[in-house]
Amino acid sequence: MSTSAARQIRDLVYDTLADEGRAPSVAELARLTGLNRAAVQNLLDELAQAHTLVPTTDGDAIRMAHPFSAAPMAFVVTPADGRDDRRWWGGCAWDSFGISAALHLDVRIDTACPWCGSHVSYTSGPTTPPPGDLAVRFPRPAAEWWNDVVGTCTMIRTFCSREHAEQWTAAHDPGAGYIASATTVWELAGPWYGDRLTPDFQPHDRATNQAILERVGLTGPFWRLP
């Protein structure tokens, strides 16, 4: 973070999303920090430029702070033990595992297979992989993720099986995308998001993230970060 004030805003956003499943408003951040709204908005803009946060289309609210989404998306994430009533929107299959990794919590993930429409529900955690038959499709290469990051996240979906992911691709986007096992994506989420809520968190540099991708077997041009 370029300033301590930006770091404070960033941490408040993440803490609120983790604890309450929602993003704080500009007015709320102003009250909590003692800054005026214009200063808070400027800091949010700075964080968005650094890809720390994703603003809404109008730019005056927080849409995502990966792995959390402030708005409904295709994945509902809840604590697996049922005794904790928190609930989060997972922006994508990867982010859903990322929420578990960031919170160091076993979770239940609920979604639907884009091909057959079947309800897909599974438990996963920092040391608990998802069922081995599930597949995750990435719609576009890593170099293009941030061209439309919300659109990218929206289309990183879990399928009942690799066959269903291949059938969906053949019908809707022939020859495009990449299909990985859900277990591989789970392995990716741990080191990518596991430190996101730690007090001393520092954003990973490109080399670190590229090494994480390679360590779980995601190599080649599709996975080359910009």
Task: Using alpha carbons only, give the angle 62, 53, 77 rounded to the nearest 5 degrees.
Answer: 75
- Averaged pLDDT for residues 67-79: 98
Give the helix, strand, coil percentages of the chain, each rounded to 5.
45, 20, 40
Assign residue 82 the CATH number of its domain. 3.30.450.410
pLDDT tens for 75-108 read: 999 999 988 999 999 999 999 999 999 999 999 9
68 φ/ψ sector (left φ>0, alpha ψ -120 to 50, else beta): beta
Shared-domain flag, residues 136 and 216: yes
- Averaged pLDDT for residues 69-75: 97
Look at residue 70 and tell me if it is in a domain: no
Q: What is the pLDDT of residue 2?
A: 61
Assign residue 19 the CATH number of its domain. 1.10.10.10
Q: What is the pLDDT of residue 211?
A: 98
Distance CA 47, CA 42 (A): 9
- Averaged pLDDT for residues 5-31: 98
pLDDT tens for 128-152 read: 999 999 999 999 999 999 999 999 9
Shared-domain flag, residues 88 and 198: yes
Look at residue 30 and tell me if it is in a domain: yes
Shared-domain flag, residues 91 and 173: yes
Q: What is the pLDDT of residue 3?
A: 86
Q: What is the pLDDT of residue 83?
A: 85
Shared-domain flag, residues 195 and 90: yes
pLDDT of residue 1 exceeding 60, the answer is: no
Provide the H-helix boundaries in 123-215.
149-154, 162-172, 182-193, 206-215
Range of the domain at 105: 75-223
